[in-house]
Amino acid sequence: METSNSKHHLDVEIQVINLVCSVCEIEIKDHNVELNSSIKDLGIDSIRFMSLLIGIEEIIDCEIEDVIAEIEFSELKTVGDIAELVKKFKR
């Protein structure tokens, strides 16, 4: 039985995967982007990372600057790491 909390986490994971695909300009159907996919291997450079942060702001419904002190950017290595960040701050 799926709880609302597990559905929320799944929704966040799907949103993050879609965001990463959008930022990387890749078609989901053409690539296998998963939670364990490395953001480096997906081609997320500093410019794309900034676009990713803007997308994260939209998902969590607050400004990154409001939570930036609590984010350890060097630990964001996979799509799953980004999803966990979003889950932590999503309102």
In this predicted model, what pLDDT tens digit does every residue of 4-29 receive, in sequence order? 677 777 899 999 999 999 999 886 66
The domain 4-89 is placed in CATH, from the list 3.40.50.300, 2.40.50.40, 1.10.1200.10, 2.40.50.140, at: 1.10.1200.10
pTM of the model: 0.84
Question: Where are the domains positioned within the chain?
Answer: 4-89
CB burial string 23-52: b at 16+ within 10 A, e below: bbeeeeeeeebeeebebeebebeeebeeeb
Q: Do residues 56 and 86 touch, judged by C-beta distance below 8 A?
A: yes
**Residue 69 pLDDT level (bands cut at 50, 70, 90):** confident
